[in-house]
Amino acid sequence: MLSSRVRLVPTTVRSLICSSSRSFMDLKALLSSLNDFASLSFAESWDNVGLLVEPSPPHTVNTLFLTNDLTVEVMEEALQKKADLILSYHPPIFRPMKRITWKSWKERLVIQALENRVAIYSPHTAYDAAPQGVNNWLAKGLGVCTSRPIHPSKAPDYPTEGTHRVELNVTHTQDLDRVISAVKGIAGVSVTSFSARTDDEEQTRLSLNCSQQALMQVVAFLSQNREFYQKTEILSLEKPLLLHTGMGRLCTLDESVSLATMIERIKRHLKLSHVRLALGVGRTLESPVKVVALCAGSGSSVLQGAEADLYLTGEMSHHDVLDAASQGISVILCEHSNTERGFLSDLQDMLGAHLENKINIILSETDRDPLHVV
């Protein structure tokens, strides 16, 4: 009888089976969601971000594995924990690879990832710039403060086309037709016209949005007519700044604290027993700190020129530290990845909510800064 073949499955087991069957995302859909969380367009132009290693499609992700650095030990852990996608904050592939062999450790990581069908994704400076990213997490350790990016990002998309706008007034209809006919034949030019009045004379105002390449062709045409060219204005178009997105953070505390108090706050936030300190000229541990300029990782280029009582970063060159100290700015160095790694715990929670808990998200337990105080 049919009923004799039916095997009852305990409720708890059925629950696990159903949960497991729902706990995955297609890689492409997941990458789209990750970009919605923090757009890769915010990354620095020199950076190598996004999907770095992709198994042959289709590829589904059940487990997302978070790490600051993808080392040999971390890869072994990721494979043991059945990761389908490794999100490595630092890109393990940065310089171009000419071959993929077993010779170097980074090439071996790529081989292991492909052999085990594990994708690798790196957000790096996109997460540095993001409003909810690494630098905002680092600022949480300072105390109650207001912050803004030291170098704000520009909007990645904006309705205005082109890099320049060419504007000129045209009086006669035949001249207007000739200009419009000429510029419409140039790729990368959009034309807008409207009525204008100059010196009690009715004119047509032409506004030409041009790409960099098209600009030279437009200028070459207009320069053939001295009357047009002398009345031409060329404006450089800039995309609007994003006030909460960008590199570094300039943080103003609600209440000043002593440098000694700030040091303890930072050590507590980063879970460090020691940090490196350079006292600014004329400063002591009791000097007040009101403004802190910070940059996770390596902050020399980002912090340079920032007006603050204290610079906080992972590492700076010897001479950049001397320059800051000579201006009365104290410097705290915590080692590069110590200013980044703690963010991953926050990221785990934020991505869980953003992805609606559709996949498992786990943190590396072997990832750590390579430098130790001994």
Segment 92-143, tens digit of pLDDT: 999 999 999 999 999 999 999 999 999 999 999 999 999 999 999 999 999 9
Region 149-171: mean pLDDT is 85
Beginning with the edge strand found earlier in the chain, give each strand of the sheet holding 249-258 in spatial order. Answer: 145-148, 249-258, 288-298, 310-315, 330-333, 276-278
pLDDT for the residue 51: 98
Choice among 14-23, 107-116, 306-315 with the minimum mean pLDDT: 14-23
* 244 in a known ligand binding site: no
* 90 in a known ligand binding site: yes
Question: Which pLDDT tens digit goes with each residue over 204-256?
Answer: 889 999 998 999 999 999 998 887 788 899 999 888 899 899 999 999 999 99
Distance CA 169, CA 206 (A): 6
Question: Which pLDDT tens digit goes with each residue over 28-82?
Answer: 999 999 999 999 999 999 999 999 999 999 999 999 999 999 999 999 999 999 9
pLDDT for the residue 79: 98
More confident site: 190 or 293 = 293
- Statement: 130-153+243-333 belongs to CATH 3.40.1390.30: yes
* 151 in a known ligand binding site: no
pLDDT for the residue 20: 45
Query: Residue 345: which H helix or E strand, with range?
Result: helix 343-354
Distances (CA, A) of 361 to 28, 89, 369: 17, 14, 21
Tell me the pTM. Answer: 0.82
* 167 in a known ligand binding site: no
CA 70 to chain centre: 19
Mean of per-residue pLDDT scores for the chain: 91
pLDDT for the residue 363: 98
Residue range 164-236 forms a domain whose CATH class is alpha beta
Domain residue limits, the chain: 25-123+343-363, 130-153+243-333, 164-236
Place of tokens 């993929």: 100
The dihedrals phi and psi of 60, each to the nearest 5 degrees, come to -105, 150
pLDDT for the residue 3: 38
CATH of 25-123+343-363, picked from 3.40.190.10, 1.10.390.10, 3.40.1390.30, 3.30.360.10, is 3.40.1390.30
Type of residue at 24: F
Give me the percent of the chain exceeding a pLDDT of 90.
75
Region 276-300: mean pLDDT is 98
In degrees, rounded to 5, the angle at the alpha carbon of residue 230 between the alpha carbons of residues 228 and 231 is: 70
22 pLDDT above the threshold of 60: no
Same CATH topology for 130-153+243-333 and 164-236: the answer is no
pLDDT for the residue 158: 65
CA 135 to chain centre: 10
287 pLDDT above the threshold of 60: yes
